[in-house]
């Protein structure tokens, strides 16, 4: 099943209505709301890609908190504007797939990473210009990163990535900096 979401509908309402295996297709635009996958193995995908579909939120834009696994997929969004106590994509202990997303311009001082904090897989993503005053700017967790770019992230204890398992394949790590750590 595919549920197309446009400016007249709420994206979170479509997630609530979705069942495992469904795709929630989001129209281009800038959306200011938090998406919670509610433990569902669904795909939330932008209709036109990250350049045209932006999740902007001062709190975590995307939350995985109910044992989501690789069947929970976020595809084709720019995730930006987070300035909370959690990562922009927040899911400690979960393992979603994040594909073709740009995670940039997020700030925090209260969690391990400003950009992404989970144990999932990032594929063809850009993690850029995120800042963490106490932890890692870019990503943290037992993550697997494939063909990703980590650039311009800053943190106190780490710059681009704090990998607690997983690893990187064919990734570029450029111009990241940390006050302490590596």
Structure tokens at 4: 């197309």
Closest CA relative to residue 140, chosen from 178, 81, 170, 78: 178
- pLDDT average, residue stretch 55-84: 94
CB 80 within 8 A of CB 107: no
Asked if the model's pLDDT at residue 1 lies above 60, the reply is no
Pick from 122, 9, 129: nearest CA to 81 = 129
Confidence of residue 9 (pLDDT cuts 50, 70, 90): very low
What local confidence, expressed as pLDDT, does residue 60 receive?
A: 85
Q: Quick one: tokens of 180?
A: 């302490």
Give dist(CA 160, CA 129) in Å, integer: 10
pTM: 0.92
């Amino acid at each position: 099943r595919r549920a197309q979401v446009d400016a007249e509908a709420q994206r979170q309402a479509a997630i609530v209505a979705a069942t495992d295996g469904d795709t929630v297709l989001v129209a281009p635009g800038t959306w200011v709301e938090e998406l919670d996958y509610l433990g569902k193995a669904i795909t939330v995908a932008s209709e036109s890609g990250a350049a045209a579909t932006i999740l902007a939120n001062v709190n975590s834009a995307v939350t995985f908190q109910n044992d989501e696994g690789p069947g929970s997929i976020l595809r084709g969004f720019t995730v930006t504007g987070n300035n909370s106590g959690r990562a922009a994509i927040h899911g400690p202990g979960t393992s979603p797939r994040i594909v073709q997303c740009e995670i940039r311009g997020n700030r925090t001082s209260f969690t391990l990473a400003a950009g992404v904090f989970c144990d999932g897989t990032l594929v063809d993503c850009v993690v850029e210009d995120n800042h963490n005053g106490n932890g890692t700017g870019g990503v943290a967790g037992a993550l697997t990163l494939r063909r990703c770019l980590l650039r311009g992230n800053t943190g106190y204890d780490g710059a681009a990535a704090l990998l607690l398992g997983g690893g990187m394949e064919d990734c570029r790590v450029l111009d990241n900096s940390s006050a302490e750590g590596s």
